[in-house]
Amino acid sequence: MAHYAFLNENNIVTEVITGIDENDVETLPSNFSSWEEFYSAQRNNATCKRTSYNTMGNSHINDGVAFRGNYAGIGFTYDETNDIFYAPKPYESWLISADTNWLWVAPIDKPENTQENIDNNIGYEWDEDLYQSDNTKGWILNSY
C-alpha cells in the first residue's frame, strides 16, 4: 500500500489517496511507467506524487528512509526544487527550510514549560500580533 497526492496548478495538494505499492509493478498496466503516472491519468492528468504516510519532519517514524519531507495533506505545498511536501504556513513570521526538517518554526525559541504549568493545564502558544509589535516576544501562556 502506498499513498498518492494530487496537486493543482500551484502545487497545492487537493486530494490524497491510498493506492498500490510503488514496487508492485507486476499489476501496473504496460502503458504506464509508474503508479504516479497511472493515477494521474485517472484524474485528467493532474500531477500525482507519491507521499509517505510514515514521514514527518523529514524523518521516517519507523526508522526507515524519509520520503519527500512530510506526509502530504490537503492544503500542503509540493516544493519541486526540494522534492518535499510541507504544511500550510501557520503564522506570517514562521520559517521553514531543510534546517528545520521541513517543519515550520517560530522565529524565537519556545520557552520551557514548567511542571506547575503542566499540572495546571497551562502552556505556551504563539501570538503573532505580539511578535509583530516586538520581535523579541511572541510566546504567551494560555490555558488549554
Which of 100, 116, 131 terminates a domain? The answer is 100
Task: Tell me the residue ranges of DSSP E strands in the chain.
Answer: 2-7, 13-19, 47-51, 55-56, 59-60, 77-79, 84-86, 122-126, 139-143
**pLDDT at residue 5 in the model:** 98
The one-letter amino acid at 86: Y
Same domain, 83 and 143: no
Q: How many domains does the chain have?
A: 2
Angle made by CA atoms 55, 56, 58, in degrees to the nearest 5 = 85
Does 144 have pLDDT greater than 90?
A: no
Same domain, 28 and 94: yes
Q: 3-class secondary structure for 81-113?
A: CCCEEECCCCCCCCECCHHHCCCCECCCCCCCC
Express each pLDDT in 114-128 by its tens digit. Answer: 999 898 899 999 999
The one-letter amino acid at 27: T
Q: Give the structural domain span for 141.
A: 107-144
Same domain, 15 and 36: yes
Does 81 have pLDDT greater than 90?
A: yes
Express each pLDDT in 87-101 by its tens digit. Answer: 999 999 999 999 999
Distance separating alpha carbons of residues 7 and 5, to the nearest angstrom: 6
Same domain, 60 and 111: no
Same domain, 66 and 137: no
Please tell me the pTM assigned to this model. Answer: 0.87
Same domain, 132 and 74: no
Same domain, 16 and 45: yes
Same domain, 66 and 47: yes
**pLDDT at residue 143 in the model:** 86
What confidence tier does 76 reach under pLDDT thresholds 50, 70, 90?
very high
